[in-house]
């Protein structure tokens, strides 16, 4: 049973991963990527990590929904009504990727992998939580800081007019320079 | 199922993503390639946790790290696309490189 699930998910993941870059429509490409990442989530569940698998499934669903919105906003040809390719250096990239895969496969097949040591805990989720709140606390704090920095950075990058545009470089302007009157600065 | 099979699948996903990241001209499609690469990393970390060291939680922590990296990459990527598009009406890597000069 598990073997059948593995092969189904594995083939689906790779095929939909390849289809991401073959679809004409960008919306379709987004959902193909979603299918591929959902298969990855399913495989993680298959490995016994239920919590992380479900987290991946939920996160990817939301992420790809947002991505589809951005696709439609910025990209040409969101519906794929005309065939098109937007690629450069296809041959070189294919060679690089083939070589990287061969290198990885050689490493995977010829490396003397250590035997399985220890037994999986009865509740891996509990184990993860205790680890993140204990010995891996530094990792968790770094992730938290990175997430916070991302929030700040994305807002700064995406804002059209910040307070320095409104009130001058030293924020001393007596009157905010707004294109439309009647806002907070009046 | 074995460690090798899972790692080969992870490697395949990684390489497909790499191909996308190297070839795609549209910045958002390029980000999709990066997401696929990180998906491969997640699968590899899960497989190593399950088949090599299930007693330690480090493999799981690595997955949390990769998932967070995915989310950050997407958020910052879209913010950069928004900023680029706003200032230059550009959504392709080649055009962004040309306008630099």
Query: Contact, B33 vs B21, CB < 8 A?
Result: yes
Question: Mutating which of B60, B66, B85, B86 best tests the A interface, going by the most A Cβ atoms within 10 A?
Answer: B60
Distance CA A9, CA A5 (A): 6
Does the beta-carbon distance from A74 to B9 stay under 8 Å? Answer: no
Domain range for B59 is: 3-98
The residue behind tokens 């439609």 is A72
From the number of C-beta atoms within 10 Å of its C-beta (0-12, 13-18, 19+), residue A73 rates as middle
Taking alpha carbons only, the member of A33, A87, A74 closest to residue B17 is A33
Q: What is the nearest CA distance from A41 to chain B, expressed in angstroms?
A: 8
B49: domain CATH number is: 1.10.287.3510
Least CB–CB distance from A108: residue in B7, B16, B22: B7
Query: In this predicted model, what pLDDT tens digit does every residue of B26-59 receive, in sequence order?
Result: 888 888 899 999 999 999 999 999 999 888 888 8
pLDDT of B100 strictly over 60: no
Look at chain B and report how many structural domains it folds into.
1
Q: Is A44 exposed, middle or buried (0-12, 13-18, 19+ CB in 10 A)?
A: buried
Percentage of chain A modeled with pLDDT above 90:
49
Q: What is the ipTM of this complex?
A: 0.88
pTM, rounded to two decimals: 0.86
């Amino acid at each position: 049973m598990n073997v059948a699930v593995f092969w189904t998910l594995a083939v689906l993941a790779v095929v939909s991963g390849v289809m991401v870059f073959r679809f004409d429509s960008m919306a379709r490409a987004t959902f193909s990527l979603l299918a591929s990442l959902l298969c990855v989530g399913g495989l993680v569940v298959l490995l016994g990590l239920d919590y992380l698998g479900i987290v991946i499934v939920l996160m990817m669903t939301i992420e790809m929904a947002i991505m589809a919105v951005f696709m439609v906003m910025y990209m040409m040809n969101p519906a794929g009504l005309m065939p098109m390719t937007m690629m450069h250096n296809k041959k070189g990239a294919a060679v690089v990727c083939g070589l990287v895969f061969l290198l990885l496969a050689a490493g995977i097949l010829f490396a003397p992998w250590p035997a399985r040591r220890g037994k999986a805990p009865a509740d891996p989720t509990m184990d993860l939580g205790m680890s993140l709140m204990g010995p891996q606390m530094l990792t968790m704090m770094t992730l938290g800081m990175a997430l916070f920095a991302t929030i700040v950075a994305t807002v700064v990058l995406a804002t059209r007019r910040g307070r320095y545009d409104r009130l001058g470089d030293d924020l001393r302007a007596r009157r905010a320079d707004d294109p439309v009157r009647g806002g907070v600065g009046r | 199922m074995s460690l090798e099979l899972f790692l080969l699948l992870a490697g395949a996903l990684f390489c497909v993503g790499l191909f996308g990241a190297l070839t795609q001209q549209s910045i958002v499609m390029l980000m999709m390639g990066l997401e696929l690469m990180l998906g491969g990393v997640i699968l590899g970390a899960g497989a190593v946790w399950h088949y090599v060291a299930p007693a330690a939680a480090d493999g799981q922590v690595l997955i949390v790290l990769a998932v967070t990296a995915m989310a950050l990459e997407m958020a910052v990527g879209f913010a950069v696309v928004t900023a680029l598009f706003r200032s230059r009406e550009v959504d392709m890597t080649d055009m962004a490189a040309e306008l630099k000069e």
